[in-house]
A and B are shown apart, each in its own frame.
Chain A
Amino acid sequence: MIDELAKEIEGARQAFVHELERIQSPEDLASLRERFLGRRKGVVSHLLVRLKEFAPGDKPRAGQAVNGLKAFVEASLAAALERRAGAAAGSASAWRDHSLPPSELPVGRLHLIADIQRRIEDIFLQLGYEIAVGPEIELEDYNFTKLNIPEHHPARDEQDTFFLEGHDDLVLRTHTSPMQVRYMLEHKPPLKIISPGKAFRKDDPDATHSPCFHQVEGLLVDRGIRFTHLKGTLEAFCRSFFGPDIVLRFRPGYFPFTEPSAEVDISCFLCSGKDPACRVCKGSGWLEILGSGMVHPRVLGNCGIDPGEYSGFAFGLGIERVAMIRYGVPDLRLLYENDLRLLGQFG
């Protein structure tokens, strides 16, 4: 019988603790006191009444146990009251040191690549471009042939391609340009899009290569579009992204899907070409950043657009390259290791 009582007392104690932790207001506290210490209906009174039922030999021990609970409840309520009073009064007496460092709450970050991509997208959205996103597994026809890279063209060597088992007509896209094909096939000019996303080339990972990387490519097609429009657009973008004083250098280049084609360098955003030991441009003053050109008439034709009536420009840049030169990430592999020591530095 005494065991039963002990169990009951322990249950009551735990219930009390449980409820005490959830106290919100002085009213809650008063009601808790009433429920446990109330003269007629309180839990303790109820237990004390039951002492009568015990044999005289057990009575003292049972009484002790119940009184132990009573003392615990009283002390806990008193302490709780004191804490509340202290908190309410601003407790001039309590020790405080506001020079303690604040608690460190977790702050998550966006991946540097994703964040750069978003910022590039935002600039082109402001320029009135639409974002067009395409599949990562692409028709070989869209990835190469329609972009004026026929089978057995040496340009395919430069884009070492992943193929899929059992799907001879599919490749992992080697650039995001096939989305431009898809868009041109489905829309009539004027067209003004960027296509960001992952692309893949069969390169063993090293400091400057990754089998998986990110690109943003842009396309504008309308009547009367000329090379100087391309130049103006890329100047606007680069100055917005890298800084207002950036100068662009266009060099002749070759891409099968554009003619004329140009490689685009920006002046070094760090030293502007003035520091021969610059860690960003290595003293050259220039950073290769974009590929671009006027859309090849054959590509327009392949995509159902009359090259006699329309012309357009296209450009593309690698986000990893931007991460490396703009943010000083020294090794491309770091961007795919997902080590929190890197992730925490950006985004």
Chain B
Amino acid sequence: MKINVDYLKRFVGLDLDDGALKELLAGLGLETAETLRIGGETVLDIETTPNRPDWLSHYGIAREIAARDPRLRFAPMDLSAVDLPVGAGVPQGDAAARPAANFAIHIDDPADCRRYSGCIVRDLKVKESPPEVQQLLVSLGLRPISDIVDVSNLVMMTCGQPLHIFDLEQLQGGEVRVRRARRGETLRLLDERDVALDEGHLLIADASRPLALAGIMGGLASGIGPATRHIFIESACFDPVVIRRGAHALGLKTDASYRFERGMDAEATLPALKMALLLLSRSQGRALKPSYFQDVYPRPQVRPAIRLDKGFPRQLTGMDVPEDAAAAILQRLGFTLRDGGGHWLVEPPSHRVDAETREDLVEEIARVHGYGHLKGEMPLAANPQLRVDGERGAVQRLKWQLADAGFNEVINYVFQSPEENGMTEPQGSLLALKNPLGRDLSVMKNSLLAGLLKNTAANANQGVERVALFEIGRVFQRRGEQVLEERRLAASVHGRQQKKDWRLPEEEFDFPWLQAQLAALGRRLRLELAFRGEAHPAFAGGCSFRVEAGGRACGWCGEITPEFRAACKLERPVFACELDLEALLACRGENRFRAWNRFPAARRDFTFLMAKSRRYEELRAAIESLRPAVLESFELTDVFQGPSVPEDKVSFSMGFTYRAPERTLTGDEVNGIHAGFTGRLAATLGLIQR
């Protein structure tokens, strides 16, 4: 809301410089977004809140300032000289009370239009507004057009009430009707746009056709032109929701609709009409007298008084304000108080459409008293039963572990392009946004991998040699009518393992490196992860694995397919994983004491050739099924292929640790067990001992 400081000062006698004024306004909840100097005048662009439509005028701001300081008074324009039969509200349909003119105003549904006041003024000559009015309008960002049009704008900026002025000669049938549009009706608006209407739109119409979109914008045909002689001035109060729906449906937002959709004061229509007559009289150079006036106000607004217990302001805020001071604040804001002993019955002024509850009244008192006078204290509220969130701790540990291994955390948007969703689910159904910012951000992501790949490319293309990233975030999918969210942990590596350094091995990231990191993450959660070869659309054939923990599927890992990599202009391989964090956390192992065996262990090595056609998984399974009772553990220590190894074979070295729970095993005993066990193993898998 633009406020011209000089104009504002006409309505409240205050003597403050701009800085102090801004400070005062801020204390009342009115932040100044911008201070402008226009034509030697100061204009403040003030941020108002949607609950206070009464602030959308110079009067509104002046009233606030006056309430803040008992020495100040709000002084609106003197309208006593304007001749309008004030108070002679004419109930709708009461023909007898209708002014004797061949004209009538009808409201079809009082729910759409709470009040409609209108008058006809004849024999005008369209002029330019006086220079000071033009200058004022320009300072407020409005374009002066003609004295008639300018008056409607000036009234709105002064007291907040939007007016609309029609060229009377374009009104047919001697009536103005507030009614819903009929499907198929059209209207050419003032901005020369043609709009198609339906029952959702509220119209001002004459006997035969639509004239204006009520509370939003006038029609071109009935607008004021240079040749206009007679006018009909509308000052009405429309229903906020109808105006808002109508404006939204057409994508329109005007000064009038902005005010009406926030709720206007039904009591303000007549003063606004009088102000219009006063201002127009000035520019026309004679006292104008309406030839017709009607005020249709079917259900005058009655607002129930709010009961405010005198102790409640202190109870809700802890503020230390004497009762009479609290009452005085409300009275200065225009509220009417009736003392009921332990409480007040408070009636808000008509322009305070927001004041409905006792909490609203407390806010008024606290706001004007000043929040700065409240002294902070810690609540002594009983703590609810504290739940220690072990999961949060576990996730934090995983993040730190990844960081320690050199991964950097990234955060991406939750939406991406349909193609990016296709990376993991080429046929998956998309969960699309109805109103995305663009196609690239139009679907909810089903995987974190595309984002990581994009981040990897952005960094690698900057020349970063080592790109190791991870992200923890949600992915989304549609299942029937439901939308499911799942928390995932994804990581990716690209490029060199280390910065180039003569002391460190010069190695590129590879799949075993990533796999080792995953296994370590698993161990952090006391989980043994297993990797099962299985195809996945994001991963290359031969290097695509399902990750399992305790037999439960909990993610995927592998090498990103060359196609996806090439699409991001990455030449070196990218290895990545995406894990279902909830599944991972759900099966994490327990921390509890297990006694260990104190008898000495004996280790025996076993080096052998195994056919390349076999997989380590088979070997491992055979060991598990043939394991002697005293075999405590085993480990793979070397895998070797070379000229000394036949083409179709691979050399493995393993270490086996034997230990009995209750005694020390003798060397011979261990040798016997080891020989028997490895013999059976060799026989089962066709191994050749080296």
| Residues on A facing B (Cβ under 8 Å) | 7, 10-12, 14-15, 18, 22, 103-111, 113-114, 118, 121, 128, 130-131, 135-137, 152-155, 157-158, 162-167, 170, 172, 187, 190-192, 198, 200, 202, 204, 211-212, 220, 222, 224-229, 231-236, 248-254, 256, 259-263, 294, 296-298, 311, 335-341, 343-344, 347
Contacts and interface: CB of A to CB of B under 8 A. Distances in A.
B485 interface: yes
27 contacts: A10-B643, A11-B643, A18-B640, A103-B498, A105-B406, A106-B468, A108-B403, A108-B404, A110-B399, A121-B392, A152-B244, A152-B261, A153-B50, A164-B444, A164-B483, A165-B432, A166-B478, A191-B384, A198-B414, A202-B437, A220-B379, A251-B31, A252-B366, A260-B316, A339-B459, A340-B459, A343-B410
A165 B433 contact: yes
B86 to A, nearest CB: 31
A190 B640 contact: no
Given A211-B437, A227-B374, 11 more contacts: A15-B642, A131-B392, A136-B485, A154-B244, A162-B433, A163-B433, A222-B379, A233-B376, A252-B366, A336-B412, A347-B409
Contact of B413 (A109, A170, A211): A211
B434 A164 contact: yes
A192 B436 CA distance: 35
Nearest to B438: A204
Nearest to A232: B376
B384 A260 contact: no
A164 B366 CA distance: 41
A296 B359 CA distance: 8
The 5 closest A-B pairs by CB, nearest first: A106-B406, A252-B29, A228-B318, A254-B49, A260-B363
A340 B640 contact: no
B350 to A, nearest CB: 20
B501 interface: yes
Given A106-B406, A226-B316, A297-B359, A22 B638 contact: yes
Contacts of B381: 190, 192, 220, 222, 225, 229
Nearest to B245: A152
A183 to B, nearest CB: 11
Contacts of B383: 128, 190, 192
Contacts of A251: 26-27, 29, 31, 371
B229 interface: no
Contacts of A192: 381, 383-384
Contact of B411 (A224, A263, A335): A335
Tell me whether chain A's interface is mostly helix, strand or loop, or mixed: mixed
Contacts of B588: none
B49 A136 contact: no
A224 B144 CA distance: 55
A4 to B, nearest CB: 12
B403 A107 contact: yes
B649 to A, nearest CB: 13
Most chain B CB within a 10 A radius of its CB, from A204, A228, A297:
A228
Given A162-B435, A190-B381, A297-B357, A226 B405 contact: no
Contacts of B498: 103-106
Contacts of B379: 220, 222, 225, 229, 232-233
Contacts of A108: 402-409, 468, 470
A235 B376 contact: yes
Contacts of A339: 458-459, 462
A114 B378 contact: no
Contacts of B436: 162
A232 B410 contact: no
A220 B381 CA distance: 9
B608 interface: no
B28 A252 contact: yes
A154 B53 CA distance: 11
Contacts of A298: 357
Interface string B465-491: 011111010101010000101000000
Interface in B386-418: 386-387, 389, 392, 396, 399-400, 402-415
Nearest to B476: A137
Contact of A260 (B26, B261, B366): B366
Contacts of B413: 211-212, 336
Contacts of B469: 338
A18 B50 CA distance: 77
Contact of A106 (B241, B455, B466): B466
Contacts of A343: 408-410
A252 B406 CA distance: 47
